[in-house]
Structure 1
Amino acid sequence: MIDRVRTAAHQNWDAFWNFHLGSWDGQWVRYNPLGEVSENFLSTRNFVSNTDRSIIHQHNQYFYHDKQIVEKKWNYNIQDHCRDDGFMHPASDYMRGLAFANGSAAWLVPRCEAEQYFPIELFLASKNLRLSVGMLYDTSGELQRVACIREHRSDFGASPWCDSIQVIPKWNVEANWQGISQVVDLDLSRSFFHDSFYLNHSAEDNEYFFPDNIVLRCPGKVPAHQAFTISALWLESDFQIKTISASYGSNSQLIDVRHQQFTH
């Protein structure tokens, strides 16, 4: 077997699975582009691996209010799904995963193609908690829906997330946040640098302020021949902020994924 420590692709594979293996209980809420709730349900996402984590089994269960249960299963293996531009989702050969060691990650499309659906899911995590925000653009580039998923490890006990599902009014945080930005480029090379943070509201992008201090910022329509960024923010506590963002160039190609941690 290839020495996984020496390849960027395998480091990326390990960064995701070393954190996310196990069972996660959660609540999914989907919203229309105006921020109105369109659907919500409970879930379990379970990830099991073999000894060396070269084979992963994923089992999702969705529990709807009408008592319907929907199940989905996928299998990953390091030979077929660990690629030089990220790990591939078995359900979509054009999506890739880029991951950081602390659980932050992005499922995305490396290049936004015309007449192709454009989905993204951005993860932020802390020990036994994780959240993800997702969005789906249709084949014309219009934002079709967004989602917020709040999960905790199944053996963690009762969920610490609140029960609210409605978007909330925009809020601000004070300046003087300092921390580290970590970057994964399209070729999976990694870098980091010291950085600062200030929450600027965007007049051009859609902003969704979800419960539990989670924020999603994304364009209402994928801009043609213009650079754009899709980002998520989590005010984890009064003293810590985490963000993750995916930036695309004017050629619709992914530039990089950035994860930031700031303290105040």
Structure 2
Amino acid sequence: MDNINTDTIPQLQNWNNFCHYHANSDWHGIWTRYTPNGQEIESFQCVRSFHVSEDGSEINHQNHYTYADGKKETKTFEPYKKPIINCLFLDNSFSWGSIKVESGSNFGFETGFRYKDRRVSVAINYGDRGSLERITVISEHSSTFASAISHTTKELSGSWEGTAKTITPDWIVSSPVATSFNQLENFSEDYQVLDLLNGISIACPHKIETEKEFVATIDWLVNPDLLQRGIRKYDASGFRSFTLETFNITAC
């Protein structure tokens, strides 16, 4: 057996989660952009392609855009070299983005989930003065462009039971623990809470500041009996952790 530096094992697991849940697929997505108040700005199509090389040492990534005016564009990214990737993959979920709030710099992140042949993600962007600027909801299917799903988290009722797992920037994953469900509406007035397309809801600060703690939460109501929640946590020093919470409705 080859000798493996134990320090790289968590990083390799992160890479393997990327390959298992998201790679070797062409994700057909509808990208919908919103103002900070949830008003739709634009919508367009994009196919995100992730393909593993034959020897498994890298993943090639291309985005193929088709805009509302018919214009097409392809963006090719530098190959991801095993096991280095600037994204955390926790089971079927993922999150990546800015590590620290810096004065005069833009700030943003993307958090997403996969369930069977569907993926959803949300990208949230702040301007260089720290104000919420734009929200992008990406709804994807592994084989075709799917139509919107009408259910929202406003329809939630009944009793929900959940488990939570957390991953830190050094790829260490916690053991699952029980967690209780709290509506996003319980956040303070400092947070923008929106219900958007395809069972997506968000809660994020209206404004972020340097050396201030905050969280950014994305909910996906996968179906009436299953909800997944991704939480990015920041403290005074910067990005601290990403948590995946999975809730199932309990029988009456």
- TM-score tier, shorter chain, comes to 0.7 to 0.9
Structure 1 position 149, deviation (Å):
0.6
Equivalences for 1:1-264 in 2 at 5 Å? 3=4, 7-21=9-23, 22-78=25-81, 82=84, 87-88=85-86, 97-102=87-92, 104-154=93-143, 159=146, 161-162=148-149, 171=154, 173-174=156-157, 176-191=159-174, 192-201=176-185, 202=187, 203-251=189-237, 253-264=238-249
> Does structure 1 conserve the Cα–Cα contact (< 8 Å) formed by 2:29 and 2:45?
yes
CA, structure 1 residues 169+259, in 2 after alignment: closer, same or farther (shift >3 Å)? closer
Question: Which one is further off, 138-147 or 222-231?
Answer: 222-231
> Does structure 2 conserve the Cα–Cα contact (< 8 Å) formed by 1:206 and 1:218?
yes
> Does structure 2 conserve the Cα–Cα contact (< 8 Å) formed by 1:214 and 1:235?
yes
CA, structure 1 residues 4+179, in 2 after alignment: closer, same or farther (shift >3 Å)? farther
Equivalent-residue separation in structure 2 for 1:127 and 1:170 (angstroms): 20
Encode CA deviations 1:188-231: one digit per residue, 9 max, x unaligned. 11112121212140232111211221101111111343210011
Q: TM-score if structure 1 supplies the norm length? A: 0.84
Q: After the TM superposition, which parts of structure 1 deviate over 3 Å for at least 4 consecutive aligned residues?
A: 1-6
CA RMSD of aligned residues (A): 2.3
List gaps (5 residues or longer) in structure 1: 89-96
> Does structure 1 conserve the Cα–Cα contact (< 8 Å) formed by 2:161 and 2:179?
yes
Question: Which one is further off, 216-225 or 40-49?
Answer: 216-225
Equivalent-residue separation in structure 2 for 1:78 and 1:245 (angstroms): 27
Encode CA deviations 1:53-110: one digit per residue, 9 max, x unaligned. 321111111111211001101132325x71xxxx23xxxxxxxx111122x1001122
Q: TM-score if structure 2 supplies the norm length? A: 0.88
* SS of residue in 2 equivalent to 1:16: helix
* SS of residue in 1 equivalent to 2:198: coil
Equivalent-residue separation in structure 1 for 2:171 and 2:239 (angstroms): 12
Equivalent-residue separation in structure 2 for 1:160 and 1:100 (angstroms): 27
Structure 1 position 31, deviation (Å):
0.8
Amino acid at match of 1:62: Y
Equivalent-residue separation in structure 1 for 2:90 and 2:77 (angstroms): 22
Equivalent-residue separation in structure 2 for 1:106 and 1:49 (angstroms): 20
Q: How many residues align?
A: 243
Q: Tell me the equivalent position of 1:93.
A: none
Equivalent-residue separation in structure 1 for 2:206 and 2:162 (angstroms): 30
* SS of residue in 2 equivalent to 1:171: helix
Equivalent-residue separation in structure 1 for 2:159 and 2:137 (angstroms): 28
CA, structure 1 residues 175+235, in 2 after alignment: closer, same or farther (shift >3 Å)? same
Equivalent-residue separation in structure 2 for 1:236 and 1:24 (angstroms): 17
> Does structure 2 conserve the Cα–Cα contact (< 8 Å) formed by 1:176 and 1:196?
no
> Does structure 2 conserve the Cα–Cα contact (< 8 Å) formed by 1:108 and 1:119?
yes
Encode CA deviations 1:35-65: one digit per residue, 9 max, x unaligned. 1111110111111111343211111111112
Amino acid at match of 1:218: C
Encode CA deviations 1:109-141: one digit per residue, 9 max, x unaligned. 222222221110010110110000111111211
> Does structure 1 conserve the Cα–Cα contact (< 8 Å) formed by 2:181 and 2:247?
yes
